[in-house]
């Protein structure tokens, strides 16, 4: 599968904005995974992605997802827990039970 590669020296104009409105940079392996999934889905619309669940359970993916949600001013979920409350009680203490529930396939999101 062909995937477009960008020169690491080329920077986006938004990279230096900082704060709100700035582009959020994810780890390269997550960006690469997202690009490959996108390219495969566009090239073969009927393809079924059976192996995605394994990627969601990885600690670095959950870490990146948390920071993306925070950078995008994500709202508290149904439980009403804020980013400040999560960080006050410990980010690992928040993420690990979710990762474990995902890995054991017992995670059930609330309505």
Q: What is d(CA 15, CA 18) in angstroms, rounded to the nearest whole number?
A: 7
Q: What is d(CA 84, CA 80) in angstroms, rounded to the nearest whole number?
A: 11
Q: Given this model, what pLDDT does residue 108 score?
A: 84
Rounded to the nearest 10 degrees, the angle between the axes of helix 91-103 and helix 59-71 is 130
pLDDT digit string, tens, across residues 2-48: 444 444 444 443 344 444 445 555 555 777 888 888 999 999 989 88
- Whole-Å CA distances, 52 to 33, 35, 37, 57, 64: 10, 13, 9, 9, 16
Q: What is the CA radius of gyration of the chain?
A: 17
Higher pLDDT, 106 or 17: 106
Higher pLDDT, 106 or 110: 106
Q: How far is CA 79 from the centre of its chain?
A: 20
pLDDT digit string, tens, across residues 53-95: 888 888 888 888 888 888 888 777 777 888 888 999 999 998 9
Give me the mean pLDDT over the 95-105 stretch: 90
């Amino acid at each position: 599968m062909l995937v477009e590669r960008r020169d690491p020296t080329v920077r986006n104009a938004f990279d230096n904005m900082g704060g709100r409105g700035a582009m959020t940079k994810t780890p390269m392996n997550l960006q690469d995974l997202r690009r490959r999934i996108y390219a495969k889905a566009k090239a073969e619309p009927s393809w079924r992605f059976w192996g995605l669940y394994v990627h969601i359970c990885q600690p670095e993916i959950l870490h990146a997802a948390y920071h993306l949600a925070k950078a995008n001013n994500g709202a508290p979920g149904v439980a009403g827990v804020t980013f400040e409350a999560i960080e006050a009680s410990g980010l690992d203490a928040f993420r690990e039970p979710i990762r474990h529930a995902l890995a054991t396939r017992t995670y059930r999101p609330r309505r």
